[in-house]
Structure 1
Amino acid sequence: MSIATPLMAPADWRDFLALTKPRVMTLVVFTALCGMLAAPVPIHPVIGFTAILCIALAAGAAGALNQWYEADIDAAMRRTAKRPLPGGRMERQAALHFGVGLGSFAVILMGLAVNVLSAVILAISILFYVLVYTVWLKPRTPQNIVIGGAAGAFPPLIGWAAATGDVTLMPVLLFMLIFLWTPPHFWALALFVETDYANAGVPMLPVVAGEVVTRQHIGIYTIPMAIAAVAPWPLGLAGVIYGIVSVATTAYFGWLAYRVAVRRTGAEDKMTPEKRLFKFSILYLFVVFAALVVDRWVLA
């Protein structure tokens, strides 16, 4: 007599929503919207809404495909163990189909409703995040987040391209800002969840090179990030509002990064410098990009 194996409960809408990494999507959508609104030409509200919808769907698709591929890694990490796949609430095949379907729909809709250039960049961003970062870089090199940071830097470029149909120096600088922001942001996180990455066998910089090297790299990468952040003002691509906000917030970011870089004690407290840097780094991008839009509309 055989004993029946209990069936997996079907996933509900909350599990599919969790696959899209909604908190990450918030920053993606915001920077894309700012890139669109900062463009020198207006975009029709319906086309603009469609473009942002496509970017959100594409980000969700990339998140779903990332979780499909990394289900085993997520299961080994405390902060991701309750996601739908490692939590046993969804089959991996369902996540794969959901991600591929969502991404394909987003790219096709962007190409038909907005323009081909924004659709091409959108497709590249999905493929870069899934194939280059998730499949190739992340499990193989401690520089994964350096090169892989390009995946999260595409949204303002796509937003700008959706509005203008081209790419100029300004969206490239916005791309570089996020690209160079990503290493200190994620390495600050990696410093206080290092055990998670070690248990999962992910070669993040603190695991492979140690805390001292990681802290040094945070300080080093903050320098070109600061240049990219402030550059639009002296180059005449943004006005005084953006200039003041970017200089002030970047200076504070630099101060936090310096404190992380010179910290040598392993003592724990409620808010270590790396936690402060990680939390502020998220607010930092929101503030800088919002200042760009305000600057564009106030001084236009």
Structure 2
Amino acid sequence: MSTIDHHTLDLSPHISEAGVGDYIALLKPRVMSLVVFTALVGYLMAPGFAHPVLAVTSILCIAVGAGASGALNMWYDRDIDALMSRTVNRPIPRGRITPPEALTFGMTLAFFSVVTLGILVNWFAAGLLAFTIFFYVVIYTMWLKRSTVQNIVIGGAAGALPPVVAWAAATGSLSVAPILLFLIIFLWTPPHFWALALFRSDDYARANVPMLPVVAGADATRLQILLYTVVLVAVAVAPWPLGYFGVGYGVVSVLLGSWMLWLAIQVYRHREGHAAKREPRRLFAFSIVYLSGLFATLLVEAMMPAVTRLIW
């Protein structure tokens, strides 16, 4: 396949007439909501007193940093976004926002999110946030996404870092627990996105993005989804018997993990006909429920001591 020249597609040389909704779309709000949620869990799980003002400031800075990453991702990927049905209606391909505006918007948000977190909270967390933005924009978007089939595997580290940043914001240090949160999200990312890629493979092929189904084929992708899901479920359950997370989390992780594994097996088994598209869609949808359920349980466990003190 021929390589797309990133600089040949000038989509919006004129001044745009973007509305507030266009700039919100530039932030990738659905991705941001997951970042905020996982970061909140990481912050509340951290030991010590969580000052409300510092907590809100930390989560807000992480959210703005995530939005900056999304805007910069859309700025750089404007050429391939225009070729994919899933992304063709984003603000830059539609001509609602010009590339320079998106770049300026993203860089401004990135700068202020990092500096604000450093000044008001601590510079260790700010450094981690800066690294997260850099990793997503430069390492993943500009390099890995277009050059290697392992783009999602390695690039998933960026999406797994928000709870680590939040823990660092709360404590000024790191521990085993945030590393476990990182590993869960990191291992969740490949089966989640490869399931999407299975039923969107034509999109990725058209844009010349080397996603696993495009490069290695659907059957190899199904096998990798199953293998990663096995490891994911095992790693996600492990913190319970190891004593890092509570019994409630253990039960939920076993139940959700069992269903996640069952769906991955169905993706592996069904390779022809309607089921070959249906099963990856089911896994993709449930994977969001799976990760949300794990972190929601951890959130409840983290809040229980405070709730108990209020009641008694």
Shift of 1:270: 11
Any gaps of 5 or more consecutive residues in structure 2?
A: 1-12, 307-312
Any gaps of 5 or more consecutive residues in structure 1?
A: 1-5
CA contact under 8 A between 1:253 and 1:280: conserved in structure 2? yes
Equivalent residue for 2:204? 197
Structure 2 residue corresponding to 1:25, chosen from 8, 27, 32:
32
CA contact under 8 A between 2:229 and 2:264: conserved in structure 1? yes
Q: Distance in 2 between matches of 1:190 and 1:237?
A: 34
Structure 2 residue corresponding to 1:277, chosen from 270, 279, 283:
283
Residue identity in the other structure for 2:86: R
Q: Distance in 2 between matches of 1:226 and 1:157?
A: 20
Aligned pairs for 1:1-300 (under 5 A) are 9-265=16-272, 267-268=273-274, 272-298=278-304
Shift of 1:82: 0.8
Shift of 1:227: 2.2
Shift of 1:9: 4.2
Shift of 1:131: 0.6
Moved more, 134-143 or 288-297: 288-297
Shift of 1:39: 1.4
Q: Distance in 1 between matches of 2:221 and 2:276?
A: 21
CA contact under 8 A between 1:174 and 1:228: conserved in structure 2? no
The CA RMSD measured in Å over matched residues stands at 1.5
Q: Distance in 1 between matches of 2:14 and 2:157?
A: 40
CA contact under 8 A between 2:16 and 2:98: conserved in structure 1? no
Residue identity in the other structure for 1:274: P
Residue identity in the other structure for 1:292: L
Q: Number of aligned residue pairs: give it.
A: 294
Moved more, 112-121 or 57-66: 112-121
Q: Distance in 2 between matches of 1:283 and 1:38?
A: 21
Which digits, 9 at most, give the CA deviation of each residue in 1:119-174, with x for residues without a partner? 11100100000011001100011110000000100011111111111111110010
Q: Distance in 2 between matches of 1:268 and 1:251?
A: 24
CA contact under 8 A between 2:198 and 2:277: conserved in structure 1? no
Q: Distance in 2 between matches of 1:255 and 1:41?
A: 39
| Identity, % of aligned positions | 55
Residue identity in the other structure for 2:117: M
Structure 2 residue matching 1:166: 3-state secondary structure:
coil
Q: Distance in 1 between matches of 2:246 and 2:86?
A: 41
CA contact under 8 A between 2:253 and 2:294: conserved in structure 1? yes
